[in-house]
Amino acid sequence: MKRAKTSKAWMKEHVNDFFVKQSKKEGYRSRAAYKLLEIAERDHLFKSGMIVVDLGAAPGSWSQVASQKVGQKGKVIALDILEMAPLPGVAFIQDDFREERALFELRKHLEERQPDLVISDMAPNMSGIVVSDQARSMYLAELALAFSMEQLNYGGNFLVKVFQGRDFEQFHRDMRTGFKSVVVRKPEASRDRSNELYLLGLGKK
């Protein structure tokens, strides 16, 4: 009974959410687009013609934003183990980005260039067990960081979603070893009760 009430409360909040309504109005696939838009404007993330890799991209709202920002001269490559409906200007690889076959496909799309920006809004399926959820989300962030350190252009940037908790400070330190600076962002579209944050690594060393 309690779970049903909670689900109803979440659905009511979701339906009435400003960013949900705005995403439907403006054609974005989820409200998460506005998190990236805010960070991108504040930190000047995108430039015309740049190459962007979007990890855990489905349903595709971050890829939508990236594609709009880099323009026809740029390139957006999205990866996810889940299916994702096609998007104009976005190359999609349905595979696990840790697998060599996925990296082989990525290299074909990159055409001997390296990404200028890696973005990751990945999160595990939440169980409601805070310690477990935080550990699983941090594991995904660590995988994304390792990918970025291998694939990013020198001077490139990396934006990743993390959740505050036991491993946050260590992960923050790990990012600082790989980037000239690391900033913390909490966009307006992140719900107040959520402990999600975004770490932006600027200038891969």
In tens, the pLDDT along 104-125 reads 999 999 999 999 999 999 987 7
Task: Render pLDDT for 174-192 as a digit per residue (tens, 0 to 9).
Answer: 999 999 999 999 999 887 7
Cross-strand bridge partners of residue 183: 200
Kindly state the average pLDDT of the residues 168-173: 95
Which of 9-13, 76-80, 135-139, 186-190 is predicted with the least confidence, judged by mean pLDDT?
Answer: 9-13
Would you say 80 is a known binding-site residue?
yes
Q: What residue ranges do the domains of the chain occupy? A: 30-204
Would you say 10 is a known binding-site residue?
no
Catalytic residue list? 161
Q: Which CATH architecture is the domain 30-204 placed in? A: 3-Layer(aba) Sandwich (3.40)
The pLDDT value recorded for residue 86 is 97
Q: Where are the alpha helices (H) located in the chain, listed in sequence order?
A: 2-16, 18-26, 33-43, 61-70, 100-110, 130-151, 168-178
Task: State pTM to two decimals.
Answer: 0.89
Would you say 121 is a known binding-site residue?
yes
Task: Render pLDDT for 190-204 as a digit per residue (tens, 0 to 9).
Answer: 877 678 999 999 999
Task: Render pLDDT for 55-112 as a digit per residue (tens, 0 to 9).
Answer: 999 999 999 999 999 999 999 999 999 999 999 999 999 999 989 999 999 999 999 9
Would you say 201 is a known binding-site residue?
no
